[in-house]
Amino acid sequence: MSERAHSPRTDADEDAGEETPLERLEAARERLERIDADVEDHGGAAVEDAASAYRTATKLLEDYVDRATGTGRENFKAYVQLEGQFAALVENLPETLQDRAAFENALDAIDKRRLSESDFEAAHSALEPATRYAELIDDRDAARDDLSEARKAASVRIRTIDDEIDERKRLLELANADLEAPVERLREPIEAYDAAIREAFADYRLEASAREVFALLERGRWYPFVAFERPPDDLREYVEGSPDGEHSIPELLEYAEYSRSKLAHLVADADALKRQVATQRTYLNGIDAEPLTIGWPPKSAGVLRRKTREYRPFVERVGDEETVAALRKVRRLTFDPDYDRLQTAAQAVDQLTADERERLADGRIADELEELRDERDRLEAALEVEDSV
């Protein structure tokens, strides 16, 4: 059974206070627009200059508060450095800078031959009027980050919606299925073939050499529907190049349990067998008929027809004539005029849950599909607004 997609958000979800990706995106955009407007109202670039100057001045005070207080030589040296750097900062400030006087007052607070912590506190207090500009720029940066995250969330939601739309469309297609159709006409031949190929492959594993089995697996690389897992390179080279490759896979797995002294009379290279086979036990045990089975429910007629055509040379190599005949019978199903109806019914019976059948019957699936399409359109429109800004 496939994993069920979640239902679209409902009004109850929104009433509960959970913010949708669209609401988050719109709120983030509106917040940034408000802050951008505030920045422009205060002079635009001048606000950025004031914020930058405030951060530089504050950092100078924080860097020197411990080093420039006191009466020692090093304290005096640090004080001279602080005063020089702070004075240069203030001198280079534009005359039109927002609250330039705050920086001048801060410089006056530390313009002494000896500084105490209270002087630094006074300088910080003097800078207070410029704090709002740094906060305004910080708020704008945070709003930009929020908008970027909201855009990502909206894009992720669109991808999720696409998956959910596909799921609703699939369910609506299944809604037209004839749930009373005689799907046994497909099931019985397919299950008979799958059982036959599993038994035939199990016998083949017992009788064929590992080298022969690996050659079969390697051949599968040219057939898209024959999904055998290819052997690891080291193991393949061992099986192809060593006389031990003439043993069957079950024999090699059994020998891997033996002591080296016992193996000396059974294999050409006990060390190589231990090294290659014992470490690849999971892979070797996993070689089975599954890549040659059909499974239930079956795919569309075209897919099943191509699949049975690709399976045939492998089935002929592994199984007997009865197994091949069972595969031919499955292939003939794809030419049955009723195949599509039966296959759709088989898909529906296998995949539809009781809840999905109820939602299909009362029209909720169709409503959900329209809601999802509407949500996607609104999200895409909101993202286009951002791209045009």
Structure confidence at residue 188 (pLDDT): 96
Structure confidence at residue 284 (pLDDT): 96
Residue 191: which of 296, 62, 94, 344 has the closest Cα?
A: 296
Structure confidence at residue 387 (pLDDT): 60
- Count how many Cα atoms sit within 13 Å of the Cα of residue 274 in the half-sphere of its side chain: 11
Give the three-state DSSP class for 69. strand
Structure confidence at residue 302 (pLDDT): 94
Structure confidence at residue 105 (pLDDT): 84
Give the three-state DSSP class for 248. coil
Structure confidence at residue 1 (pLDDT): 36
300-325 pLDDT, tens digit per residue, is 999 999 999 999 999 999 999 999 99
Structure tokens at 310: 């690709």
Structure confidence at residue 66 (pLDDT): 75
**Scanning the structure block, which residue is given the tokens 């690996």?**
214
Give the three-state DSSP class for 338. coil
β-sheet bridge partners, residue 115: 69
DSSP 11-62: HHHHHTTPPPHHHHHHHHHHHHHHHHHHHHHTTTHHHHHHHHHHHHHHHHHH
pLDDT, the chain, mean:
86
Mind listing the pLDDT tens digit of every residue in the chain (389 residues)?
333 444 455 444 444 458 889 888 888 988 988 888 888 877 777 777 778 888 888 888 888 777 777 667 777 787 788 778 888 888 777 776 767 788 888 888 877 777 777 878 888 888 888 788 888 888 888 999 999 999 999 999 999 999 999 988 888 877 777 778 899 999 999 999 999 999 999 999 999 999 999 999 999 999 999 999 999 999 999 999 999 999 999 999 999 888 888 888 888 888 898 899 988 999 999 999 999 999 999 999 999 999 999 999 999 999 999 999 999 999 999 999 999 989 988 888 887 888 888 888 788 989 999 999 999 999 998 888 766 55
CB 382 within 8 A of CB 332: no
